[in-house]
Each structure stands twice: as structure tokens, then as C-alpha cells.
């Protein structure tokens, strides 16, 4: 066995892949947690004893003889006694099963913990193969014989992978080397490196080059770019790691890598009126300061006194805003609105009016045909069900209900089984029959289509 200390074999590719012993330790912890959880049964609950039945109080009938009444009383007492015996028998059997299950679970966990070092050894094999990549000999891949030494009958070449490089001599007889070269089959020679993880260190155990069923011996002449520190915090059993071109990769490495990637912080954008893609292009001025009084979709009366802006046409809104600005228009809200509008120019006021006017809203919603089905259900069917079964009895509009969640929020609500209870809470006057289970995916698809972040608004 070639005992070259190869803690490097990990650290080199690790430089290229930003992996270190810390990362390997994290992966082993990930595998350990997953492995232990697979053996942890759901909490075994102690069985509950059924309540004993109560003997019925019987009354003697007016025309019933005493012996017959006593017989009926004895029969009732016997029925209760039999039931009590049956309950005790079932309970004792359940308790025995419960205790046996606890013993089995403890035994499984004990065995799982005893096998953990071997499991981590297999995991170490998997992560190293995943990060080290494919070991290749470029001279063979390129069918290059310039490195062949006929006197020694050996290729003096290099096995490389990412940041690692091992100088080797591959022993191939002259006749066979010439035959492989002429038939351009040198690239079929594949290196296979066996690494031995032993007591916290990693060694080269053996290197061979395979061609079909034949093996060629390899001598190591040098190891470049290596480091000598590879100590893990986990107890890992001694193991042989086979590193070759077609080594199996650990499937959990992909899932583990996702846990290392930091997700960028979400950017919070201010809501614009009517959050619709067709509508957004009309407005060049933010109206977010108006939402507090008029609502995000301008559907409310400001302080209960003004008109509902979403019902006004663009030219009416423009005249009103210019009137507020010039002091020639307004009732009780005149003073407040004049201060709000004063900072806008006439062109900005015109842009605002176009973006929130009634005809702009209609123009936007006409461009929303039901061209697709949501994964939840049919958007068209959900709209029909809402109009037929919910609209009249619910005090909230479809837009108001839909804006309660984002699209992800509606999906989560439906998936978690909270959707129906939310609907009943928001529309308490709607018949419970309107929320049948077969309707729910269509309702969910409908509200998902017009969610707060969808950019769509329904014209009701």
C-alpha cells in the first residue's frame, strides 16, 4: 500500500469548490440528523382506558311481577360486568403493545447510533466523490504518446482533477501501448484511486488504471498542491473510498448545497393602485401616500366623506385635483386636499388621473381573459362559483378577499387545509354548502389569480 498522506486530496479541490473540513463536518451533521430522524418513530402515545359503563336504573312496571323485574335487573348488571371485563382486557393488551413498542424503538435507536460511524463513512465517500469530480489523464484523453517511455514501458503522466495533480507512471507494455494508440483507444483507460480514511487521516491506498477487465499498475512519482490537515469533528469509521470517473455521487449533496446558499433579501416595493401590468404603465407618479385614506385600490370614501375615486372617470378626477390645487373645488375635505395636491404639477395630476380613472381600470381588466388553469383548480370555474354562491351573501368584494394573501400565501393556505376556515371567517353569512370540498380548489385558483402580488384586478 502506498502510504502518502493525502489530506490534500480534499483540500485542493476544496480550494476550487470553497469546501473545507468545516463544510465536510456540516455535511456529516446533516446526514447524521437525517439518519437519526429516519429511525425516530412518531411519539408513541400511552393508550387511554375506556370509561366504564354505568348500570341503568330500572323501574318496575305496574303490571310486572317481582321475579320478572329482578331477572331484568340481574341481566342489566351482568351486561355491565361483561363490558367492564372486556374494557380491562382490551386496555391490558394495548398497554402490553405500548411497552413492547417502546422497547423496539429503544433497540432501533441503539442500533442506529452504533452504526452511525459506518453511515458517516459512506457519507464521507459520497461527498468526496461529489466534490473531487472526475479524475482524468489528459494524455490518454488526447491520445498523446509523447509521455510514453519505451525503455521503462510506462506513461509518465499526471492524474488531475480540479485543483489536484498527481504525477504517476502507468505501466503499459510496448505492444499494447502501440495497439491502443493506433486504434485511438487510449482514452478508454480510466484511472481509479482508492483512498483510505484511517483514524482521522486520508491516505492513497492504491492507484490503478483500468481498460475493460485489465488493470495496469501505477507508481506515484509526486503529489502536488497538498495540505496536511484534515481533522473531522465527527466519529467516522475507517473506510476505503473509491474515487473514479463513474463514482456514485451522494444525492443528499445537492440538498445540502442549497442550505449553504444564502438567499438574497427580498426587495419590498410600494404597492401601486390596481397592481396590474397593463395599468402600471399609465402612472408615472407614485400615489402610495393616498392609500391611507382612499384605500390601496381607491375603493374607500376618505374619512367617510369623499366620493369613491375608483368610480370616477379620469377627466373628473383631473378636474377635482386641479380644483383642489387652485382652491376652486371641494367641500369639507378642501383644506386637507389642497395641501396634498399642491406639490404636483398639472402634467403629474393628469398622469395620476389616467392611472386611477374608471375607464383605465376597465381597459386593464378587459385584457385578462381566462387563458389558463391554475395548478389549484380552474380560475374560470372559481369565478363562476363565486358569482353564483358567494357574491351576494358576502360583505367583502372578490378583490378584497383576494388581496388578503399573496399568490404563495393562497397556495400555502390551500395546501395546509386552512382555506375553508378562512373563507367561512371572511364570509360568515354565506351558506356553508357554498364551501363544499369539491369547490375549494376552484375558489383557491380564483383568489390566487387576483392575489395582492399578482398584478391583476377583477372588474366587479
Q: Is 345 among the domain residues?
A: yes
| CATH number for the domain that contains residue 296 | 1.10.760.10
Which pLDDT score, from 0 to 100, does residue 162 have? 66
β-partners of residue 155 are: 148, 170
Q: Are 306 and 384 members of one domain?
A: no
Please say which residue of 346, 364, 382 terminates a domain. 364
Q: Are 147 and 230 members of one domain?
A: yes
CA distance linking residue 145 with residue 449, whole number of Å = 65
Residue ranges with strand state E in 283-404: none
Q: Is 351 among the domain residues?
A: yes
Q: Are 127 and 205 members of one domain?
A: yes
CA count, 13 A, side-chain hemisphere, 45: 3
Is residue 13 helix, strand or coil?
helix
Digit-coded pLDDT (tens) for 117-171: 887 777 777 777 776 777 888 878 888 878 888 888 888 888 877 656 778 888 8
Nearest to 104 by CA among 41, 196, 34, 21: 41
Which pLDDT score, from 0 to 100, does residue 89 have? 92
Q: Is 282 among the domain residues?
A: yes
Q: Are 360 and 374 members of one domain?
A: no
Pick left, alpha or beta for residue 445 (phi over 0 → left; psi -120 to 50 → alpha; otherwise beta).
alpha
Q: Is 224 among the domain residues?
A: yes
With beta carbons less than 8 A apart as the criterion, state whether 197 and 117 touch.
Answer: no
pTM for the complete prediction?
A: 0.40
Q: Are 394 and 301 members of one domain?
A: no
Could you write out the DSSP letters of every residue in 55-67?
PP-----TT--HH
Q: Are 312 and 429 members of one domain?
A: no
Q: Are 287 and 430 members of one domain?
A: no
CA distance linking residue 210 with residue 194, whole number of Å = 13
Low-confidence residues of the chain: pLDDT under 50: 1-19, 224-229, 265-283, 362-374
Which pLDDT score, from 0 to 100, does residue 273 have? 38
Q: Which residue has the cell 482533477?
A: 161
Q: Is 303 among the domain residues?
A: yes
Digit-coded pLDDT (tens) for 334-348: 777 777 777 778 888
Q: Are 14 and 136 members of one domain?
A: yes
**Cell (9 digits) for 123:** 457519507
Q: Are 383 and 344 members of one domain?
A: no
With beta carbons less than 8 A apart as the criterion, state whether 153 and 172 touch.
Answer: yes
Domains in the chain: how many in total?
3
Q: Is 106 among the domain residues?
A: no
Q: Are 357 and 311 members of one domain?
A: yes
Q: Is 229 among the domain residues?
A: yes
Please say which residue of 323, 338, 364 terminates a domain. 364
Output the CA torsion sign for 355, 356, 360, 361.
positive
Q: Is 459 among the domain residues?
A: no
Q: Are 224 and 282 members of one domain?
A: no
* 257, 280, 457 from 361: Cα distances, Å: 46, 11, 8
Please say which residue of 308, 335, 364 terminates a domain. 364
Nearest to 230 by CA among 195, 197, 192, 193: 197
Q: Which domain holds residue 417?
A: 370-449
CA distance linking residue 407 with residue 454, whole number of Å = 7
With beta carbons less than 8 A apart as the criterion, state whether 411 and 376 touch.
Answer: yes
CA distance linking residue 165 with residue 158, whole number of Å = 7
Q: Are 342 and 287 members of one domain?
A: yes
Amino acid at each position: 500500500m502506498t502510504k502518502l498522506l493525502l489530506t490534500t486530496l480534499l483540500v485542493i479541490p476544496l480550494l476550487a469548490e470553497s469546501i473545507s473540513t468545516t463544510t465536510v463536518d456540516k455535511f456529516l451533521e446533516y446526514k447524521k440528523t437525517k439518519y437519526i430522524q429516519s429511525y425516530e418513530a412518531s411519539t408513541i402515545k400511552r393508550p387511554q382506558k375506556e370509561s366504564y359503563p354505568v348500570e341503568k336504573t330500572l323501574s318496575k312496571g305496574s303490571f310486572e311481577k317481582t321475579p320478572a323485574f329482578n331477572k331484568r335487573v340481574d341481566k342489566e348488571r351482568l351486561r355491565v360486568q361483561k363490558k367492564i371485563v372486556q374494557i380491562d382486557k382490551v386496555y391490558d393488551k394495548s398497554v402490553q403493545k405500548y411497552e413492547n413498542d417502546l422497547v423496539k424503538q429503544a433497540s432501533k435507536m441503539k442500533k442506529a447510533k452504533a452504526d452511525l460511524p459506518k453511515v458517516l463513512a459512506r457519507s464521507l465517500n459520497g461527498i468526496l466523490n461529489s466534490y473531487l469530480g472526475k479524475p482524468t489523464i489528459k494524455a490518454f484523453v488526447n491520445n498523446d504518446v509523447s509521455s510514453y517511455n519505451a525503455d521503462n514501458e510506462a506513461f509518465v503522466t499526471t492524474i488531475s482533477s480540479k485543483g489536484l495533480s498527481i504525477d504517476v507512471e502507468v505501466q503499459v507494455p510496448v505492444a499494447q501501448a502501440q495497439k491502443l494508440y493506433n486504434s485511438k483507444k487510449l482514452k478508454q483507460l480510466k484511472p481509479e484511486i482508492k483512498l483510505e480514511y484511517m483514524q482521522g487521516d486520508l491516505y492513497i491506498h492504491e492507484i490503478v488504471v483500468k481498460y475493460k477487465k485489465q488493470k495496469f499498475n501505477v507508481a506515484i512519482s509526486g503529489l502536488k498542491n497538498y495540505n496536511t490537515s484534515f481533522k473531522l469533528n465527527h466519529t467516522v469509521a475507517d473506510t476505503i473510498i473509491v474515487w473514479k470517473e463513474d463514482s456514485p455521487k451522494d444525492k443528499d449533496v445537492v440538498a445540502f448545497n442549497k442550505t449553504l446558499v444564502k438567499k438574497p433579501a427580498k426587495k419590498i416595493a410600494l404597492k401601486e393602485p390596481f397592481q396590474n401590468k397593463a395599468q402600471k404603465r399609465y402612472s408615472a407618479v407614485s400615489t402610495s401616500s393616498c392609500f391611507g385614506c382612499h384605500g390601496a385600490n381607491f375603493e374607500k370614501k376618505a374619512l367617510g366623506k369623499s366620493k369613491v375615486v375608483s368610480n370616477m372617470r379620469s377627466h373628473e378626477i383631473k378636474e377635482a385635483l386641479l380644483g383642489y390645487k387652485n382652491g376652486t373645488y371641494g367641500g369639507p375635505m378642501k383644506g386637507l386636499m389642497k395641501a396634498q395636491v399642491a406639490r404636483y404639477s398639472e402634467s403629474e395630476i393628469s398622469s395620476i388621473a389616467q392611472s386611477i380613472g374608471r375607464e383605465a381600470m376597465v381597459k386593464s381588466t378587459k385584457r385578462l381573459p381566462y387563458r389558463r388553469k391554475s395548478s389549484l383548480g380552474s380560475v374560470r370555474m372559481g369565478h363562476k362559483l363565486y358569482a353564483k354562491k358567494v357574491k351576494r351573501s358576502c360583505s367583502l368584494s372578490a378583490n378584497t378577499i383576494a388581496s388578503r394573501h399573496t399568490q404563495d400565501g393562497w397556495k400555502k393556505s390551500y395546501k395546509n387545509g386552512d382555506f375553508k376556515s378562512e373563507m367561512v371567517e371572511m364570509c360568515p353569512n354565506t351558506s356553508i354548502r357554498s364551501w363544499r370540498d369539491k369547490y375549494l380548489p376552484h375558489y383557491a385558483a380564483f383568489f390566487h389569480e387576483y392575489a395582492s402580488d399578482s398584478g391583476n384586478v377583477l372588474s366587479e
